[in-house]
Amino acid sequence: MVSFLKHLRIDHGDMPHCDRTPPMTPKLLNPLSPPRTPCSPFDLKSTSFCFRKGPARSVVYQPNGHPKQVVIDGEIWPPIFKPKNVRSAKMMNLNETDVVIATYPKCGTTWLQHITSQLVKGVDYKAGKGNELCIQSPMIERMGAQFANEIKGPRVLKTHFNHDNIPKNGNAKYIYCVRNPKDCLTSYFHHNRNFKIYNWANGTWDVFVDLFASGQLAFGDYFDHLLSWIAHIDNERVLFLKYEDMIDDLEGTIYKIGQFIGGEAKKRVEDLATLCEIADNSTIDAMKKDQKRWFPESQLHKAEFIRKGGKRDWKNYFTREQSDRIDAIFKAKLAGTKAESWWKEEMAWSDQLPSIENLTVDDEEDKWSQRELFALPPLSQRRYSRASLLSSGYGSIWSLASQTANQQ
């Protein structure tokens, strides 16, 4: 046992505790050390380890009751990720025609890939076995730079990298989409139970809430991920979207994406028939009918990758205490940012009362965020709709459509 611990190079400083540590931020820890988790006690006897040998070492680990994960360079990833692929993705060269779909997991990633692939590739965007979306539009940190470089351009690439890790060379364009954390958490819970790689088909809700709240899931901390990208919300090469706005106005969002990408995508959204066709192909109901298109069925326990979509499904799972816990972290982490006023209705415990707006947290009793809450004035909520598009540079197609309708 002593030699086993010595091999792990574990000391008391690496043992689990309840401090929030951002796993997507490089830490001065040995890359072979198991990550800290605030959930069940980290018992070496009930934790399975698998050490990958060689210069690109990593640790696949699974504490009892947790999803299986891997630590690479101090960051947490899904267990099948390889160091060489993660590292090469961070350094890969992007082309001017590349469109990078960047999200935290379960924030509309596949939805945006599907929409953007139709806009960019047109008839070259194929379906059928061997043409799954995960192959045509690969996750760069999963597949690596070499695989991505073999794809014919223009490329639609996927990533769950935070902004610190994203490859930034070249003049590629980035579309970042975010979803309210409670619905994101709920969808990510089902995702971990459904994908075989996590070995967590019977995983429990309470454990997952703890892992999400403490940022100890694959791809890191939701709030830190959002903070890394929101700092670049006004960058001309970054289009910042909200999942809930896509639900409220799908056609308007598709039009906005096409105008942002430019080229053939811009031409396609300015053709009203093409725009409507893409929108019809991209509804949640339409995507549910073609489940084999997204991931090979062999990777899933249930052959259903597109599950539910929509808003406020979290109310079917959260306790009031869990809801308040996420609200407290949200308010502490996002204070002073444009996101602090987002999702008041979507995150409210009551359908009528936006509880997060009225939430107060006593620093002495706040056992989750451990951060001072700053009383800053709220920022206006950013929402895109057809009405707002009409008054913007993206609204020409709707003006044209309205004029045509009036003439007829």
Which residues belong to the active site?
160
Tell me, what amino acid is at 171? N
CA distance 1 to 59: 18
The tokens of 266 are what?
């811009």
Phi and psi at 233, nearest 5°, equal -65, -25
Residue 31 burial (C-beta neighbours within 10 Å; 0-12, 13-18, 19+): middle
Buried b / exposed e over 95-111, threshold 16 CB at 10 Å, is eebbbbbbbbbbbbbbb
Peptide bond into 16 cis (omega under 30): no
d(CA 300, CA 315): 25
Across the chain, which distance is largest between two alpha carbons, in Å?
84
Residue written as token pair 């809450």: 373
Q: Using alpha carbons, select from 80, 319, 344, 335 the residue that is nearest to residue 197.
A: 80
Q: Give the ranges where 270-334 is alpha helix by DSSP (H).
A: 272-281, 284-288, 320-334
Q: Going by C-beta distance under 8 Å and a sequence separation of 6 or more, which residues neighbour residue 13?
A: none
Name the helix (H) or strand (E) containing 62.
strand 58-62
Q: Which residues contact 152 (CB under 8 A, 6 or more apart)?
A: none
Mention every residue, 6+ apart, whose C-beta is less than 8 A from residue 303.
Answer: 291, 292, 297
Query: Is 379 in contact with 334 (CB distance < 8 Å)?
Result: no
Cα separation, 376 vs 100, in Å, equals 33
CA distances from 327 to 126, 207, 350, 362 (A): 42, 18, 13, 13
Both tokens assigned to 211: 């892992």
